[in-house]
Structure 1
Amino acid sequence: MRIAVIADIHGNVLALDAVLDDLRSRGGADITVDLGDCVSGPLWPRETMERLQALNLPTVRGNHDRRVAQDTADETMWPSDRYAQERLTAAQREALLALPLTLEIAPGVVAFHARPDHDEKYLADAIVDGQLVRAPLAAIRRRLKPLDPACRLVLCGHSHRNELIRIPGGPVIFNPGSVGCPAYDDDTPPAHVSEQGSPHARYGIVELGTDGHPSRFESIAVDYDHEAAAKQAEQAGRPEWAQALRTGFIKD
Structure 2
Amino acid sequence: MRIAVLADIHGNVLALEAVLRDLKQRGGTDLTVNLGDSVSGPLWPRETFARLEALALPTVRGNHDRRVAADPADDEMWPSDRYAQERLTEAQREALFAQPLTLEIAPGVIAFHARPEHDEKYLTDAVVDGHLVRAPIATIQRRLGNLDPIYRIVLCGHSHRSELIRLPGGPVIFNPGSIGCPAYDDSTPPAHVSEQGSPHARYGIVTLGEAGNPDRFETVAVDYDHEAAARQAEQAGRPEWAYALRTGFMPR
The equivalent of 2:123 in structure 1 is: 123
The equivalent of 1:95 in structure 2 is: 95
Q: How does 1:134-213 map to 2 (within 5 A)?
A: 134-210=134-210
8 Å CA contact 1:162–1:175 kept in 2: the answer is: yes
Stretches of structure 1 lacking an aligned partner (at least 5 in a row): none
The equivalent of 2:114 in structure 1 is: 114
Map Cα deviations across residues 27-70 of structure 1 (whole Å, 9 max, x no partner). 10000000000000000000000000000000000000000001
Determine helix, strand or coil for the equivalent of 1:87. coil
Q: Per-residue deviation at 1:168? A: 1.0
Q: Per-residue deviation at 1:251? A: 2.0
- Distance, in Å, in 2 between the alignment partners of 1:211 and 1:144 is 28
Code of the aligned partner of 1:153:
I
Greater CA drift, 212-221 or 234-243: 212-221
Q: How many residues of Structure 1 are paired with residues of Structure 2 in the alignment?
A: 252
Q: TM-score, normalising length from structure 1? A: 0.98
Going from structure 1 to structure 2, the CA distance change for 1:94 and 1:105 (only over 3 Å counts) comes to: same
Map Cα deviations across residues 172-212 of structure 1 (whole Å, 9 max, x no partner). 00000000000000000000000000000000000001259
- Distance, in Å, in 2 between the alignment partners of 1:25 and 1:14 is 17
The equivalent of 2:239 in structure 1 is: 239
Q: Per-residue deviation at 1:18? A: 0.2
Map Cα deviations across residues 119-149 of structure 1 (whole Å, 9 max, x no partner). 0000000000000000000000001123101
Code of the aligned partner of 2:143:
R
Code of the aligned partner of 1:232:
Q
Code of the aligned partner of 2:49:
M
Going from structure 1 to structure 2, the CA distance change for 1:213 and 1:100 (only over 3 Å counts) comes to: farther
Code of the aligned partner of 1:128:
V
The equivalent of 2:20 in structure 1 is: 20
Q: Which runs of 4+ in 1 moved over 2 A?
A: 211-214
The equivalent of 2:47 in structure 1 is: 47
The equivalent of 2:32 in structure 1 is: 32
Tell me, yes or no, if structure 1 residue 4 matches structure 2 residue 7.
no
- Distance, in Å, in 1 between the alignment partners of 2:231 and 2:214 is 39
- Distance, in Å, in 2 between the alignment partners of 1:85 and 1:211 is 47
Determine helix, strand or coil for the equivalent of 2:4. strand
**Pairwise CA RMSD:** 1.1
Code of the aligned partner of 1:36:
G
- Distance, in Å, in 2 between the alignment partners of 1:246 and 1:198 is 8
- Distance, in Å, in 2 between the alignment partners of 1:96 and 1:203 is 21
Determine helix, strand or coil for the equivalent of 2:216. strand
Stretches of structure 2 lacking an aligned partner (at least 5 in a row): none
Greater CA drift, 44-53 or 71-80: 71-80
- Distance, in Å, in 2 between the alignment partners of 1:213 and 1:119 is 33
- Distance, in Å, in 1 between the alignment partners of 2:214 and 2:226 is 32
Map Cα deviations across residues 224-246 of structure 1 (whole Å, 9 max, x no partner). 00000000000000000000000
Going from structure 1 to structure 2, the CA distance change for 1:12 and 1:33 (only over 3 Å counts) comes to: same
Query: Identity over aligned residues, as a percent?
Result: 81
Going from structure 1 to structure 2, the CA distance change for 1:75 and 1:211 (only over 3 Å counts) comes to: farther
Going from structure 1 to structure 2, the CA distance change for 1:163 and 1:212 (only over 3 Å counts) comes to: farther
Going from structure 1 to structure 2, the CA distance change for 1:84 and 1:211 (only over 3 Å counts) comes to: farther
8 Å CA contact 1:4–1:31 kept in 2: the answer is: yes
8 Å CA contact 1:107–1:212 kept in 2: the answer is: no
